[in-house]
Amino acid sequence: MKWFRMYSETLDDPKVQQLPDRLLRTWINLLCLCAEGGGKLPDKAHIAFRLRMRIDRAAEALEELRSVGLIDLTEKGLMPHNWAVRQFQSDNVSLRVQHFRNRRRGLFETLPETLHETASDTDTDTEKEKSQKRKPTGTLQQPPSEESEMRNFSLTNPPFDTLTRVRKKPEYPSELLDWFNVEFWPAYPKHVGKSAALLKAKAKAQTDAKRVEILAGLKAQLEDLNGREPQYIPHAATWLHQERWKDEIMHNPQQSQSQQIREIREKNRRLEAGIKT
CA dist 33 and 51 (Å) reads: 9
| Correct CATH for 8-86 of 3.10.620.30, 1.10.1040.10, 3.30.465.10, 1.10.10.10 | 1.10.10.10
101-131: buried (b, 16+ CB within 10 Å) or exposed (e) per residue?
eeeeeeeeeeeeeeeeeeeeeeeeeeeeeee
Global pTM reads: 0.35
User: Could you tell me the residue ranges of all domains in the chain?
Assistant: 8-86, 91-110+135-160, 174-271
State pLDDT tens for residues 65-79.
888 888 888 887 888
State pLDDT tens for residues 252-273.
544 556 667 777 888 888 888 8
CA dist 213 and 95 (Å) reads: 66
State pLDDT tens for residues 192-202.
999 999 999 99
